[in-house]
Amino acid sequence: MSQMTNTDYREVNFDGLVGPTHNYSGLAHGNVASMRHGGLVSNPREAALQGLAKMKALMDAGYAQGVLPPQQRPDLGALRSLGFTGSNREVLARAAEEAPQVLRAVCSASSMWTANAGTVTPSRDAPDGRVHFTPANLQSSFHRFLEPETTGRVLAAIFRNEAHFAHHPVLPATPAFSDEGAANHTRLCGEHGDAGVHLFVYGRQAFGGDPAHEPKRFPARQTLEASQAVARQHGLAAAQTVFAQQHPEAIDAGVFHNDVIAVGNGPVLLYHEMAFLDEQATLDELRAKMATPLIPVRVPSEAVSMDDAVASYLFNSQLLSNSDGSMTLVVPGECQEREAVWRTIQDHLLAGHNPIGEVIVKDVKQSMRNGGGPACLRLRVVLSAEERTALTGRVLLTDALHDELAAWVERHYRDRLAPDDLADPQLADETLTALDELTRILQIGSVYPFQLRSSS
């Protein structure tokens, strides 16, 4: 083990590159943006460039920025497993004819929301001093259930060095262990390199839960049992964890992940009063376990209604640490469009007694229409300097990498995609060509099914 101090640790935000099949198919039940925008024409090129612009802006502002590749879509292997046979073109044509909804699902670019890629425990908190990863099973929806296998391969390719990184199996993909990854996990601490307390927020208890405390309208995507299993895999002790139930009314209002209603960073927990079923008990337990004083920043319903919270994605902001101890909040453009939200940011957050000293507004509208804000688009990985050096591939953003990726997007992406276009076999060919080139740009080796097997 090295003798590094905690100043060597930095949070690296690994954003998901938006894939070439980004589209609006209305696939996500309980995600009101996805439900509302199903059928619209998307612009995959603009979506990918918006994502890259966010990454570049944060890199330029001095934050460590990483990038994760999109997945192979359409997922031809999934179509074959469902009984579609023949050449790739025949498989696509039959799926379009016989099961258009299935075809839409296997074309989703949903891996862009890397907050759902998995759960990560920094080495500082793990008993073996390694960074721990568990890809999320995402079993709540078919289109996202397709992600974990490739996610696991991508994470294992980038965080390959076994002296520093440990990879755990995906939890059993069954409702009792429904897991949506870091979107329901917040690490609270002093500085990133200090010991942290892990707040796991779940929507439902699979075994012995009280049905009266479950949402009625929309599904709860994270179970207590899944969160407990991830904590166990990573070796986290009871003194390092807090398990809190999400408020069922929030889920029914469209808060399908905790990161749509709360965000934490360092000792700050910014949350809406409807985030937790038992707000006081959650704060009390965090205070009891944290080594530094918790700084709760509570937003009441009178300031921001649930509807405004869900429509603006105020809480799906990134909260980033600056070297002077202040924090920057990266909010989606939709926050400016809602007067109550914008006023709360100015009067309550920026002017309040808390470290939030700056707000950056980023336009990620293409992703937002599918219910993915700035925080959904990134997986936070706290890494020491040594761990950053141990990464495999060219995945930490630089000006040169940004420019290459932007040029790659311009070369390969369409600027218009309607759900019916997903049946176009040309789109599948374009995508494979683009992804093959991407793995060379990122230098991560073969991670896609079509690179590993000849038939898919």
**For ligand SUG, how many residues bind (rule: CB under 6 A)?**
22
- In angstroms, what is the minimal distance from the CB of 35 to ligand SUG? 8
25 forms part of the interface with ligand SUG (CB under 6 A): yes
> Between residues 27 and 171, which has the closer beta carbon with respect to ligand SUG?
27
Interaction of residue 376 with ligand SUG, rule CB under 6 A: yes
Q: How far is the CB of 116 from ligand SUG (least distance, A)?
A: 5
Q: Which is nearer to ligand SUG, 24 or 165 (CB)?
A: 24
**Position among 13, 34, 240, 344 found at the interface with ligand SUG (CB under 6 A):** 34
User: What does the alpha-carbon distance between residue 446 and residue 154 come to, in Å, rounded to a whole number?
Assistant: 9
Q: How many CB atoms lie within 10 A of CB 327?
A: 21
Question: Residue 327: phi, psi to the nearest 5?
Answer: -130, 150
Q: Give the closest residue to 107 by CA, choosing from 338, 452, 431.
A: 431
Residues 113-152 interacting with ligand SUG (rule: CB under 6 A):
113, 115-116, 144
Q: Which residue has the tokens 């690994």?
A: 14
Q: Annotated binding residue at 106?
A: no
Which of 46, 147, 225, 259 lies at the binding interface for ligand SUG (CB under 6 A)?
259
Q: Is 394 annotated as a binding residue?
A: no
Q: How far is the CB of 25 from ligand SUG (least distance, A)?
A: 4
Rounded to whole angstroms, the maximal C-alpha distance in the chain is 63
Cβ closest to ligand SUG, residue 9 vs residue 313 = 313
CA 160, distance to chain mean position in Å, is 21
Q: Per CB under 6 A, which region of 24-32, 59-67, 122-130, 274-282 contacts ligand SUG?
A: 24-32
Q: Identify which of residues 113 and 133 has a Cβ nearer to ligand SUG in the complex.
A: 113
Catalytic residue among 107, 189, 335, 376: 376
29 is in an annotated binding site: yes
The structure tokens listed for 6 are 């905690």
Q: Is 257 a catalytic residue?
A: yes
Cis peptide before 169 (omega within 30 of 0): no
CA count, 13 A, side-chain hemisphere, 94: 13
Instruction: Name the nearest CA neighbour of 199 among 298, 266, 132.
Output: 266
Chosen residue from 13, 370, 431, 439 binding ligand SUG by CB under 6 A: 370
- Strands, E assignment, 107-217: 118-121, 131-135, 165-167, 185-188, 197-202
> Which member of 11, 46, 180, 334 is catalytic?
180
The DSSP symbol for 303 reads T
Site for ligand SUG contains 28 (CB under 6 A): yes
**Residue 129 Cβ vs ligand SUG, minimum distance, rounded to whole Å:** 28
Q: Concatenated DSSP letters for 239-294?
A: GGEEEEEBPHHHHHTT--SGGGTEEEETTEEEEETTSBTTHHHHHHHHHHH-SS--
Q: Which residues are catalytic?
A: 180, 257, 376
Residue numbers in the known binding site are: 25-34, 116, 143-144, 221, 259, 370
Site residues (vs ligand SUG, CB under 6 A): 24-28, 31, 34, 108, 110, 113, 115-116, 144, 183, 256-257, 259-260, 370-372, 376
